[in-house]
Amino acid sequence: MCIGCYLSFSLVLYVISEYVPVEQIKEKLGIIQEKYNLNISIPTIMTQKQKRLALLLLLSLAVAVFAYSYLFEILFISTFTLFAWLAYDFINDFTKSTVNPAGKFVFITGCDSGFGLASAKAFKELGFHVIAGCFNDTSSGAKELLQAEVKVISLDVTSTDSVDCCLKVVKETCGGSGLWAVVNNSGINSMGYVEVCSMQEYQHAADVNLWGAIRVTKAVLPLIRKAKGRVVNVTSERGFNPWPQSSSYCITKFGLEAFSAVLRREMVQFGVLVSTVAPGNFSGSSAIINDAANASLRKKLEQGREALSTQDRESYTQAQIDELMEQLATDPLRSCSDPQPVVDAYVDAVVNLTPKTCYMVQGMNRKSMDPVIICARLRQWLPDRVMPTVTRGVMAVFNR
């Protein structure tokens, strides 16, 4: 401890020597040196690099001394906090109060397949009146919903005219009761290096994933306010943790998280609750990754690469595009093939009287320890500069 105090004292002197005249320091230290028989040299010149190093050493020492002195207390508080959080989450799940679905209407977008199709059926079974927006109202998913007596309407979230026509049907269907919940489920995948992705690809991804959700929300919000209902926006773990080669997708999900956070605060005065659902690795069940979508994405990436100069194409080889597409093709094998965990999150956000602001849903075929969810949670606490290393470690351990 004495050595630590002595080193800390020396480092402090080393740093303040840049700001306080050395003569004054020596004068004050004269008494201390005589009394305690110390020999402390005072540097007169210190570069910025040396100053940063000194501050870093001082901070590291202070943290080390504090951690050593209060190690037991730190471990106790950390463990208690973790178990208290887990207990609260557990108790909240088993003591929650739910709304009565009778007479309530739920509007879901993107119900042709995947989460939208499964959730429309689930809400219907619970007793809600379900309005399912399908991009193709003659698709197999739409026909399946019609057989389940779910109201199906044609909806293209990228078109204002389509949304306006859909709104008329929703108003007529809901009558004077208003709309209890809207679930903005529509979404598409988008991948590729920044320089390879065209502006058209960025725009298309945003038109569906971001502007589409905002367009639908703005259209039905008066009906939601009337019922004091819910807005549920489907984002992604990539709305919290950005991944390389997915900027066109990440910005739409980061944007939708921001939109939801702002809307949540604005809607408090009206009694409207806003939640987001961020699925982990569900590529095998969401229908967002399929052979047709992968073929279209490959074509776009190859066109984007060809649009680069000859010199720039050397930085982004065809082999890199092939590797990315191979990852997309094999990813569903490790992902969760059951949409039920995500559907459960949709349902809880709609029926729970005190829903969560964000549902991060564990994916993978084991439905737990999803590495992308782990990374998304860690990024909220760790510096961004260490996240690439942490991500590689987490993926190496859990992505199997």
CA–CA gap between residue 124 and residue 334 (Å, rounded): 30
Of these residues, 14, 202, 249, 359, which one is catalytic? 249
165 inside domain = yes
Domain limit, last residue, from 69, 93, 114? 69
Residue 392 in any domain: the answer is no
Task: Compute the average pLDDT of residues 297-303.
Answer: 89
Q: Are 196 and 312 in contact (CB under 8 A)?
A: no
Q: Number of H helices and number of E strands within the chain? A: 16, 7
Going by C-beta distance under 8 Å and a sequence separation of 6 or more, which residues neighbour residue 152?
Answer: 111, 132, 134, 137, 142, 145, 146
Give the domain extent around 34: 2-69
**pLDDT computed for residue 360 by the predictor:** 95
126 phi, psi to nearest 5 deg: -75, -15
Instruction: Please report which confidence band the pLDDT of residue 365 belongs to, taking 50, 70 and 90 as the band edges.
Output: confident
The verdict on 189 and 302 lying in the same domain is yes
Q: Does 97 fall in a domain? A: no
Banded pLDDT at 292 (limits 50, 70, 90): confident
Average pLDDT for residues 34-50, to the nearest whole number? Answer: 59
What is the H or E stretch that residue 133 is in?
A: strand 129-134
Residue-wise pLDDT tens digits, 230-243: 999 999 999 999 99
Q: Same structural domain for residues 123 and 255?
A: yes
Q: Which residue has the tokens 């059926």?
A: 121
Q: Token pair of 92, please?
A: 């909240």
Whether residue 21 has pLDDT greater than 60: no
What does the alpha-carbon distance between residue 154 and residue 215 come to, in Å, rounded to a whole number? 15
pLDDT mean over 244-259:
96
Establish if 398 belongs to a structural domain.
Answer: no
Q: How far apart are CA 291 and CA 214, in angstroms?
A: 28
Same domain? For 246 and 329 the reply is yes
Residue 31: the pLDDT is 62
Same domain, residue pair 175 and 128: yes
Distances (CA, A) of 135 to 9, 146, 159, 224, 231: 69, 15, 11, 22, 20
Q: What is the pLDDT of residue 207?
A: 97
Confidence of residue 119 (pLDDT cuts 50, 70, 90): very high
Four-residue CA torsion sign, 160, 165, 170, 175:
positive
Is residue 386 assigned to a domain? no
**Coil, helix or strand at residue 65:** helix
Q: Which residues pair with 181 in a beta bridge?
A: 106, 230
State the Cα–Cα distance between residues 365 and 334, nearest whole angstrom.
6
Boundary (domain end) residue, out of 26, 51, 69: 69
Average pLDDT over residues 387-399: 89
- Answer yes or no: is pLDDT of 41 > 60: no
Q: Cα(223)–Cα(348) distance, rounded to whole angstroms?
A: 21
Do 109 and 21 lie in one domain? The reply is no
Say what percent of the chain tops pLDDT 90: 55
Q: 134 and 54 in one domain?
A: no
Q: Which helix (H) or strand (E) holds 183?
A: strand 181-184
- Strand pairing of 358-361 and 273-279? parallel
Other beta carbons within 10 angstroms of residue 321's beta carbon come to 21
DSSP-assigned letters across all residues of 246-314: BHHHHHHHHHHHHHHHHHHHHHGGGT-EEEEEEE-S-TTTSSSS-HHHHHHHHHHHHHHHHTS-HHHHT
Cross-strand partners of 107: 131, 182
Phi, psi values for residue 29, rounded to 5°: -80, -15
pLDDT of residue 363: 85
Identify whether 74 is part of a domain. Answer: no
Secondary structure percentages of the chain, helix, strand, coil, to 5:
60, 10, 30
Residues 33 and 117 in one domain: no
Do 268 and 333 reside in the same domain of the chain?
yes
pLDDT range class, residue 368, cuts 50, 70, 90:
confident
Cα–Cα distance, 71 to 341 (Å, whole number): 39
Of 31-40, 77-86, 264-273, give the lowest mean pLDDT range: 31-40
What is the Cα Rg of the chain in Å? 28
Number of domains in the chain: 2
- State in Å, rounded, how far the first CA of the chain is from the last one: 46
Task: Give the C-alpha separation, 356 to 353, whole Å.
Answer: 10
Query: Looking at the domain assignment, is residue 90 inside a domain?
Result: no
CA 230 to chain centre: 20
Provide, rounded to the nearest whole percent, the portion of the chain with pLDDT above 70: 87
- Give ∠ CA 81-82-83 in degrees, rounded to 5: 95
64 and 186 co-located in one domain: no
Whether 93 shows a pLDDT value over 90: the answer reads: no
Pair (56, 186) in one structural domain: no
Residue 135 contacts residue 112 (beta carbons within 8 Å): yes
- Has residue 370 been placed in a domain? no
Mark whether 316 is an active-site residue.
no
Residues 115 and 65 reside in one and the same domain: no
Q: Output the pLDDT for position 235.
A: 97
24: confidence class by pLDDT, cuts 50, 70, 90: low
Query: Which residues are registered as beta bridge partners of 276?
Result: 233, 358
pLDDT of residue 51: 66
Say whether both 177 and 308 belong to one domain: yes
Which of the given ranges, 12-16, 79-83, 276-280, 308-312, has the highest pLDDT on average? 276-280
What is the per-residue pLDDT for 20?
Answer: 52
What does the pLDDT read at residue 27? 62
pLDDT higher than threshold 80 for residue 288: no
Report residue 300: phi and psi, to 5°.
-65, -40
The CATH code of the domain that includes 267 is: 3.40.50.720
Q: Which of 69, 84, 110 is the last residue of a domain?
A: 69
**Amino acid 25: pLDDT:** 55
Tell me if 343 sits within 8 A of 119, measured CB to CB. yes
